[in-house]
Amino acid sequence: MLLLYKATLAPALLWQGSRLRRTALRLPEPEGERSGVVAGTPGDRAVRVLVIGDSSAAGVGVEHQQEALAGPIAVALAQRTGCTVHWQLAARSGLDTVQARQFLRTVPLQPADVIVSALGVNDVTSQTPPALFVRQYKQLLRDVRRRTGARIGIVSGVPPLHQLPAAPQPLRWYLGQCARRLDQELQYFCEKEGRLRYLSLHWADPREMSQDRFHPGPVQYARWAQMNAEAIARALVLPCPETTATGPSATLRTG
């Protein structure tokens, strides 16, 4: 049915897609370091986190990496568990899964215990079939695991593009249908893989998006980082200190 709708709506979809590409506000990737250490409680274990993906993983939508995804995941994880967290970000705007795999081959990756990934929007816009999308994603994760030694992957789902404020109707509806198909296939893939944890993004509120009406804003990034930290702690069976309401203090060191 989606193919039928695509054929019927093709003139409108092509015109709206072309206009959106021409007129969309293009935000830069945020400033700030892309690796660092967050000190936890002295004597506790250390955890190494690698964040990979597209513009959302890179933090587009905020001005500094401290408001984005990778660094805040490390801070939240250290606060939650008391662990010292070594983190690295390897992401770039505009990447689909194939391009991300090629890009990561050019990046020196540090050893990691956990991979946090965020991909899929550009696979929607490039019309990647669901089965091919998952196959490419699997190859990407396999490559990164082999290079870093990571045991666990926290995989963010494809965003709910049917809520995308930047896209007009019927383009928004069509992108949402395509995103839903990729997201369902990705969730099924993660459920079959014992070392992967699927993290849905269907909680995202379009009113909290950045000024380009396409990427997350600061509130969404903060919630997303907390959800990733919780998923990492559960996947690695890390303790959650009960000494305070927010856990031990954590300080961010970059470099």
pTM surpassing 0.75? Answer: yes
Mean pLDDT for all residues in the chain: 89
The model's pLDDT over 156-182, given as tens digits with 9 standing for 90+, comes to 999 999 998 888 888 889 999 999 999
How many Å apart are CA 86 and CA 84, to the nearest integer?
Answer: 7
State the pLDDT at residue 116. 98
Would the pLDDT of 244 be above 60?
Answer: no
The model's pLDDT over 58-110, given as tens digits with 9 standing for 90+, comes to 999 999 999 999 999 999 999 999 999 999 999 999 999 999 999 999 999 99
Structure token pair of residue 9? 């709506």
Q: How confident is the model at residue 41 (pLDDT cuts 50, 70, 90)?
A: confident
How many Å apart are CA 255 and CA 236, to the nearest integer?
Answer: 25
State the pLDDT at residue 3. 62
State the pLDDT at residue 42. 83
Higher pLDDT, 13 or 39: 39
How many Å apart are CA 59 and CA 65, to the nearest integer?
Answer: 7
Looking at domain 2-23+32-239, which CATH architecture does it have? Answer: 3-Layer(aba) Sandwich (3.40)
Q: Is 187 exposed, middle or buried (0-12, 13-18, 19+ CB in 10 A)?
A: middle
Helices and strands in the chain, H and E counts: 8, 7
Question: Is 84 within 8 Å of 44 (Cβ atoms)?
Answer: yes
Q: What share of the chain is helix, strand, coil (3-state, %, to 5)?
A: 45, 20, 35
Instruction: Report residue 27 CA to chain centroid gap.
Output: 17
State the pLDDT at residue 8. 64
DSSP 97-162: HHHHHHHHTTS-PPP-SEEEEE--HHHHHTT--HHHHHHHHHHHHHHHHHHH---EEEEE----GG
State the pLDDT at residue 4. 61
Q: Sketch the domain layout of the chain as residue ranges.
A: 2-23+32-239
Residue in 91, 53, 89 with CA at minimum distance from that of residue 71: 89
Higher pLDDT, 247 or 84: 84
Structure token pair of residue 63? 């001005």
How many Å apart are CA 129 and CA 27, to the nearest integer?
Answer: 28
